[in-house]
């Protein structure tokens, strides 16, 4: 463990002799600086206190016979538990143990996917395999070799899948929070919001998705709402935001019912963008009435009718826009499932937002290549991406749910 911490300290201070990894290290340092974190003070993802997990003694004996000693319990996921190993030479590795009984049919998928890495990683381009965990062995050990005469531990009665791989470190929480924000209860990093609002391409895509989300409300409320009107709204809002327009709060919007509008991390650009939207939507409504419905001068009843209708439209659209702004800023830059596009819930951000966060480029390119190899990344959340401490490279470590041919 001391060696691992020393390697990470050296990485933080920029000490490395590996020229090939210099670009990744420098890029990560630049990103951390942009995020407001000095390299020497970079925090890794928060480590909640982990329960003590003891490896079955007979399984530990099997590993010792192979020259590995169990140092400590590291973590556990849905299907497996991770321990740190140390070889006779002092090299530290990780072992993932998956109970056949508890994982059921998933254990076959886990075995297939980790064997794919074992057999194919060496032939991958360097820029791809640097983002994929290195696997050294994959073995299915029968239950009779693990459980004792009292049939303990019972979880291992059907055997276990044992995967030995490289030992990685948690990635900095600033990077995970920016690229892989999958926790619905966690706040959006302030610097992610700032970088998104500073990018013309990212803002255009954000405004487009927000405008599309209120189209059903506009179609139901206003006759003859069309694609032309949608495109006009997108263009007007985008231009107004990029030119610094800052309208007053709209009298028809109940701001007390907007849950995200008042969030400190959204200020000042979040409220400004929403008020621009409210202003433009409100201004478009009278135009529709004048152009497509009745002349209010000839029918005074329409004035009261329109006022009520206006209030209803602004109420529904303002709440939808408030939510969509939060959703658009929070969604992962890196897709949870690579095959899905940005319109899907598990898809990543649009290409302009991804370009804004250039630190994701290598990982995204690796995911694209693996997808082309019919080994398509899935389940890419913050718990399944770690860091190679000597280089700062982000690494896909849990491939159990990857879709393979």
Per residue in 114-123, pLDDT (tens digit) is 999 999 999 9
Token pair 């290549």: residue: 369
Give the C-alpha separation, 32 to 50, whole Å.
27
- Please report the pLDDT score of residue 13 as a whole number: 43
Q: What is the mean pLDDT of the chain?
A: 83
The beta-carbon contacts of 50-53 under 8 Å, at least 24 apart in sequence, are: 50/74, 50/75, 50/76, 53/81, 53/83
Q: pLDDT category, 383, cuts 50, 70, 90?
A: confident
- Please report the pLDDT score of residue 176 as a whole number: 87
HEC assignment per residue over the chain: CHHHHHHHHHHHCCCCCCHHHHHHHHHHHHHHHHCCCCHHHCCECCCCCCCCCCCCHHHHHHHHHCCEEEEEEEEECCCEEEEEEEECCCCEEEEEEEEHHHHCCHHHHHHHHHHHHHHHHHHCCHHHHCCECCEEEEEEECHHHCCCCCCCCHHHCCCEEEEEEECCEECEHHHHHHHCCCCCCCCCCHHHHHHHHCCHHHHHHHHHHHHHHHHHHHHHHCCCCCHHHHHHHHHHHHHHHHCCCCCCCCCCCCHHHCCCCCCHHHCCHHHHHHHHHHHHHHHHHHHHHHHHCCCCCCCCHHHHHHHHHHHHHHHHHHHHHHHHHHHHHHCCCCCCCCCCCCCCCCCCCCHHHHHHCHHHHHHHHHHHHHHHCCEECCCCCHHHEEEECCCCEEEECCCCCCEEC
pLDDT higher than threshold 90 for residue 37: no
Give the C-alpha separation, 397 to 405, whole Å.
19
Give the C-alpha separation, 377 to 132, whole Å.
10
Give the C-alpha separation, 310 to 278, whole Å.
12
Q: Distances from the Cα of 139 to the Cαs of 79, 110, 162, 298, in angstroms? A: 16, 11, 5, 83
Most confident of 32-36, 242-246, 310-314: 242-246
- Please report the pLDDT score of residue 363 as a whole number: 95
Residue 255 CB neighbours (<10 A): 15
pLDDT higher than threshold 80 for residue 106: yes
Token pair 């819930």: residue: 345
Length of the chain: 405
Per residue in 197-254, pLDDT (tens digit) is 999 999 999 999 999 999 988 886 666 788 998 999 999 999 999 999 999 999 889 9
- Please report the pLDDT score of residue 186 as a whole number: 73
Higher pLDDT among residues 298 and 335, named by residue: 335
Residues 384, 182 contacting (CB under 8 angstroms)? no
pLDDT higher than threshold 70 for residue 195: yes
Q: Distances from the Cα of 356 to the Cαs of 120, 191, 330, 334, in angstroms? A: 32, 12, 15, 12
Low-confidence winner among 148-157, 260-269, 319-328, 381-390 (lowest mean pLDDT): 148-157
Token pair 């201004």: residue: 283
Query: To the nearest whole percent, how much of the chain has pLDDT over 90?
Result: 55
Domains of the chain: 2-171 (3.30.200.20), 183-330 (no CATH)
Give the C-alpha separation, 265 to 193, whole Å.
8
- Please report the pLDDT score of residue 290 as a whole number: 46
Q: pLDDT category, 8, cuts 50, 70, 90?
A: very low
Give 147: exposed, middle or buried? Use CB within 10 Å, 0-12, 13-18, 19+: buried
Low-confidence winner among 47-51, 91-95, 103-107, 249-253 (lowest mean pLDDT): 47-51
- Please report the pLDDT score of residue 44 as a whole number: 52
- Please report the pLDDT score of residue 40 as a whole number: 44
Most confident of 25-34, 146-155, 345-354: 345-354
Average pLDDT over residues 135-161: 89
Residues 85, 70 contacting (CB under 8 angstroms)? yes
Most confident of 34-48, 87-101, 179-193, 337-351: 87-101
CA atoms in the 13 A half-sphere facing the CB of 224: 9
pLDDT higher than threshold 50 for residue 2: no
pLDDT higher than threshold 60 for residue 87: yes
Higher pLDDT among residues 23 and 228, named by residue: 228
pLDDT higher than threshold 60 for residue 162: yes
Higher pLDDT among residues 369 and 265, named by residue: 369
- Please report the pLDDT score of residue 70 as a whole number: 95
- Please report the pLDDT score of residue 174 as a whole number: 84
Give the C-alpha separation, 203 to 277, whole Å.
13
Q: Distances from the Cα of 38 to the Cαs of 10, 271, 294, in angstroms? A: 14, 30, 63
Report the chain's C-alpha Rg in angstroms.
Answer: 27
Residues 138, 163 contacting (CB under 8 angstroms)? yes
Residues 45, 382 contacting (CB under 8 angstroms)? yes
């Amino acid at each position: 463990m001391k060696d691992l911490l020393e390697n990470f300290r050296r990485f933080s201070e920029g000490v490395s002799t590996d020229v090939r990894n210099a670009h990744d290290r420098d890029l990560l340092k630049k990103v951390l600086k942009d995020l407001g974190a000095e390299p020497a003070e970079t925090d890794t993802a928060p480590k909640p206190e982990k329960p003590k997990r003891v490896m079955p003694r007979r399984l530990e004996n099997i590993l010792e016979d192979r020259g590995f000693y169990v140092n400590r319990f590291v973590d556990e996921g849905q299907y497996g538990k991770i321990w740190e190993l140390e070889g006779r030479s002092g090299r530290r590795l990780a072992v993932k143990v998956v109970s056949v009984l508890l994982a059921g049919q998933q254990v076959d998928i886990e075995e297939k996917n980790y064997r794919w890495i074992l057999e194919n990683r060496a032939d991958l381009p360097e820029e791809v395999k640097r983002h994929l965990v290195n696997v050294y062995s994959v073995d299915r050990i029968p239950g009779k070799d693990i459980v004792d005469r009292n049939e303990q531990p019972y979880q291992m009665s059907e055997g276990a899948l044992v995967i030995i791989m490289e030992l990685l470190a948690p990635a900095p929480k600033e990077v995970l929070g920016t690229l892989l924000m999958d926790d619905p209860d966690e706040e959006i990093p302030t610097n992610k919001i700032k970088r998104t609002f500073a990018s013309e391409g990212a803002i255009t895509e954000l405004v487009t998705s927000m405008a599309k989300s209120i189209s059903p409300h506009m179609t139901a409320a206003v006759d003859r709402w069309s694609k032309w009107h949608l495109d006009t709204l997108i263009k007007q809002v985008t231009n107004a935001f990029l030119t610094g327009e800052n309208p007053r709060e709209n009298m028809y919007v109940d701001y007390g019912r907007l849950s995200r509008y008042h969030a400190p991390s959204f200020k000042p650009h979040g409220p400004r963008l929403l008020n621009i939207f409210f202003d433009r939507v409100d201004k478009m409504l009278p135009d529709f009435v004048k152009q497509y419905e009745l002349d209010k001068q000839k029918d005074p009843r329409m004035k009261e009718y329109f006022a009520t209708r206006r209030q209803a439209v602004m109420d529904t659209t303002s709440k939808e826009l408030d939510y969509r702004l939060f959703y658009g800023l929070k969604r992962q830059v890196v897709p949870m499932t690579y095959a899905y596009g940005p319109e899907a819930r598990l898809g990543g951000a649009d290409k302009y937002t991804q370009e804004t966060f250039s630190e994701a480029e290598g990982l995204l390119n690796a995911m694209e290549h693996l997808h082309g190899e019919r080994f398509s990344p899935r389940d890419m959340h913050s718990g399944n991406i770690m860091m190679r401490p000597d280089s700062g490279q982000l690494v896909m470590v849990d491939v159990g749910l990857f879709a393979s041919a």
